């Protein structure tokens, strides 16, 4: 056969690449309950859809060619539910998937072409930091950025043209952490860890002994840093979460999110929605129950649910269309938003504005958390950052006052003058500068009867302030658009969204928040 020797060499090289770090190292992955880089791609993508790029890559360090198949990064194109995506999977069996010049070029090219062609990017992380001794010395260090004078900036910065997802699936130090911090959505598998440097480097540099879990385990990033959006029990659930997230996202910023058929039972609980809202004005409740009544059945997809818990940020669907939800959660701090919650909302506003997702705000907030701790966390600056992001939004906004909305928080939740296409209240709403009970103490505190808060006089004065907070005062002066029956909220949103879309642009926003940092 013609070219037989060349074809045999091709097959030898292909076989070597597919062997990755060898059977023994692959077995170590399996013994830890982990898949190999190529198995992960097969699990994530539609069967038979993967087209690899750079299979024959290897290290450019002389003598390392046979030891670095694919140069420790497997990447290319594939499909998820029939939609084209770009995927990069770290191969921990090859030098712990440490980052190198050749792999960096491959990753960078795939990332840039994905933005150009309109494909979502999925980064499956399990890797050590930069490879040594490859980047040691002046030439080694300077060449690591791709060799050009703007090449590193192209790889390590981002404007949101297409969705980017990172999965933290093992030890992730260096490059996977940077990719997670550039991504719109991060899912972390329990038992994995993410950080700038691993425990060994931390011990050598600082003398600090710390475990992977303590340094960057799932609880650290889901509850403290907010750097991950969801947590998975295992790799199988991780892939399910990625597919579910993508089902809400357009492939690129010039498309609207994909529509779906609303389940037949969607909205069937609207008649019972008031059963989830306590009549006693200061009693807590779970806002998720109200949201689940309004959105399509089983469509609520929370982001960062364990971080900044006094506010809910979630994707969902209503009548088959994708929406973004910002809702106060009275189950935590009575709904008062702290600095973590503010950062969480800003990140979510950036996501929705970048990918043409309309926003629905549900108010039940007594204000922002204040005090010494809040001031030291720069609460004032964060509130203004939040307001600035709100002012840059170009997607439709509908704002619904469920119960209380006081002070500056009213405007940050897209109150009057803040760009809402529709601003309405339930009859249960209270709108005022502060809680009427606090106002009563301030306004009437100097009166003799103020000492006896059970007195008829004090109760009458306090009740007057509560009555003044009724939404009908604002509605009567056209500061809000309407007061609606809570049972009609779902239908109201459906109609308002249809009206609010800018039909000249066909629902495509201006993406003014596309280059706002994804992390805070």
Look up residue 52 and give its two tokens. 């690899």
Cβ within 8 Å of residue 504, ≥6 positions away: none
Q: Are residues 420 and 305 in the same domain?
A: yes
Given a cut of 90, whether residue 137 has pLDDT beyond it is no
Residue 1 confidence (pLDDT): 67
Based on the fold, state whether residues 196 and 215 are members of the same structural domain.
yes
Q: What is the mean pLDDT of the chain?
A: 92
Shared-domain flag, residues 405 and 493: yes
Mean pLDDT of all residues in 507-513: 94
**513 domain-assigned:** no
Total number of domains in the chain: 3
Position 439 scores a pLDDT of: 55
- 237 in the same domain as 153: yes
Q: How far is CA 208 from the centre of its chain?
A: 31
Within a domain: residue 255? no
CA end-to-end distance (rounded Å), the chain: 61
Out of 174-183, 308-317, 427-436, 494-503, least confident range: 427-436
- Specify if 330 maps to a domain: yes
Q: Measured over all CA atoms, what is the biggest interatomic distance in the chain, rounded to whole angstroms? A: 107
- Phi and psi based region of residue 507 (left: phi greater than 0; alpha: psi -120 to 50; beta: remaining): left
Assess whether 202 and 80 both reside in one domain: yes
The predicted-structure confidence for 39-48, as pLDDT tens digits, reads as follows 999 999 999 9
pLDDT digits (tens, 9 = 90+) for 196-223: 988 888 877 788 888 999 999 999 999 9
Question: Is residue 77 included in any domain, yes or no?
Answer: yes
Instruction: Considering only residues 299 and 150, tell me which one the structure prediction assigns the higher pLDDT.
Output: 299
pLDDT value, residue 199: 82
Q: Go through 303-314 and write b for each residue having 16 or more CB atoms within 10 A of its CB, e for each that does not.
A: bbbbbbbbbbbb
Q: How much is the average pLDDT of 170-196?
A: 95
Contact 250, 257 (CB under 8 A): yes
Of 248, 280, 310, the domain-final residue: 248
Beta bridge pairs of residue 430: 404
Residues 103 and 162 in one domain: yes
DSSP state of 167: E
- Say yes or no to pLDDT of 448 above 50: no
Same-domain status, 217 and 281: no
pLDDT tens profile 236-247: 999 999 999 999
| Whether residue 232 is found in the same domain as residue 292 | no
| Segments forming the whole domain that contains residue 492 | 270-429+470-500
Please, what sign has the CA dihedral across residues 418, 489, 487, 304?
A: negative
Residue 214 lies in a domain: yes
Mark whether 144 and 100 lie in a shared domain. Answer: yes
- pLDDT digit string, tens, across residues 167-181: 999 999 989 999 999
| 395 vs 13: CA distance, rounded Å | 50
> Is 507 within the bounds of a domain?
no
Structure tokens at 246: 């993508």
Q: Is residue 101 part of a domain?
A: yes
Q: Do 225 and 292 have their domain in common?
A: no
pTM of the model: 0.93
Residues in the chain: 520
**For position 294, which CATH number holds?**
3.90.226.10
Co-location of 349 and 442 in the same domain: no
Alpha carbon distance 201, 314 (integer Å): 37
173 in the same domain as 279: no
pLDDT of 442:
56
514 inside domain? no
436 pLDDT above the threshold of 70: no
Compute the distance between CA of residue 400 and CA of residue 193 in angstroms, rounded to an integer. Answer: 39
């Amino acid at each position: 056969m013609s070219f037989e020797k060349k074809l045999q060499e091709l097959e030898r090289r292909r076989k070597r690449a597919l062997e990755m770090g060898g059977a023994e190292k692959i077995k170590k992955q399996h013994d830890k309950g982990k898949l190999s880089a190529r198995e992960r791609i097969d699990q994530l993508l539609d069967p038979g859809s993967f087209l690899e790029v750079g299979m024959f890559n290897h290290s450019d360090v002389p003598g390392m060619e046979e030891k670095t198949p694919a140069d420790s990064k497997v990447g290319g194109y594939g499909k998820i539910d029939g939609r084209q995506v770009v995927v990069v999977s770290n191969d921990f069996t090859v030098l712990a998937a440490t980052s190198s010049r050749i792999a960096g070029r491959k990753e960078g090219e795939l990332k840039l072409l994905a933005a150009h062609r309109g494909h979502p990017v999925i980064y499956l992380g399990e890797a050590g930091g930069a490879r040594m001794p490859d980047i040691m010395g002046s030439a080694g260090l300077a060449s690591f950025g791709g060799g050009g004078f703007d090449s590193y900036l192209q790889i390590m910065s981002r404007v949101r043209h297409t969705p980017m997802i990172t999965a933290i699936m093992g030890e992730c130090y260096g490059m996977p952490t940077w990719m997670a911090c550039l991504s719109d959505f991060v899912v972390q598998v329990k038992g994995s860890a993410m950080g700038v440097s691993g425990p060994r480097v931390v011990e050598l540099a600082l003398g600090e002994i710390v475990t992977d879990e303590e340094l960057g385990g799932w609880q650290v990033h889901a509850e403290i840093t907010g750097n991950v959006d969801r947590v998975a029990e295992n790799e199988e659930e991780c892939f399910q979460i990625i597919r579910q997230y993508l089902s809400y996202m357009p492939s690129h910023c010039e498309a609207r999110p994909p529509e779906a058929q609303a389940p037949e039972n969607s909205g069937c609980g609207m008649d019972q929605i008031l059963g989830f809202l306590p009549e006693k004005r200061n009693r807590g409740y779970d806002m998720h129950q109200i949201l689940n009544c309004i959105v399509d059945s089983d469509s609520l997809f929370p982001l960062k649910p364990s971080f900044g818990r006094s506010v809910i940020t979630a994707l969902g669907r209503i009548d088959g269309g994708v929406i973004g939800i910002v809702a106060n959660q009275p189950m935590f701090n009575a709904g008062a938003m702290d600095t973590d919650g503010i950062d969480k909302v800003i990140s979510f506003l950036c996501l929705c504005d970048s990918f043409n997702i309309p926003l629905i705000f549900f108010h039940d907030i007594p204000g922002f958390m204040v005090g010494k701790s809040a001031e030291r966390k720069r609460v004032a600056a964060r509130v203004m950052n939040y307001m600035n992001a709100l002012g840059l939004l170009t997607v439709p906004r509908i704002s619904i006052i469920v119960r209380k909305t006081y002070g500056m928080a009213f405007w940050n939740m897209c109150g009057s003058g803040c760009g809402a296409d529709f601003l309405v209240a339930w009859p249960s709403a209270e709108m005022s500068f502060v809680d009427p009970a606090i106002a009563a103490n301030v306004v009437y505190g100097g009166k003799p009867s103020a000492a006896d808060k059970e007195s008829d006089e004090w109760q009458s004065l306090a009740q007057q302030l509560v009555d003044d907070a009724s939404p009908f005062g604002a509605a009567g002066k056209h500061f809000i658009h309407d007061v609606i029956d809570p049972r009609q909220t779902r239908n109201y949103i459906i109609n308002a969204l249809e009206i609010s879309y800018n039909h000249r642009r066909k629902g495509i926003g201006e993406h003014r928040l596309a280059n706002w940092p994804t992390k805070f």
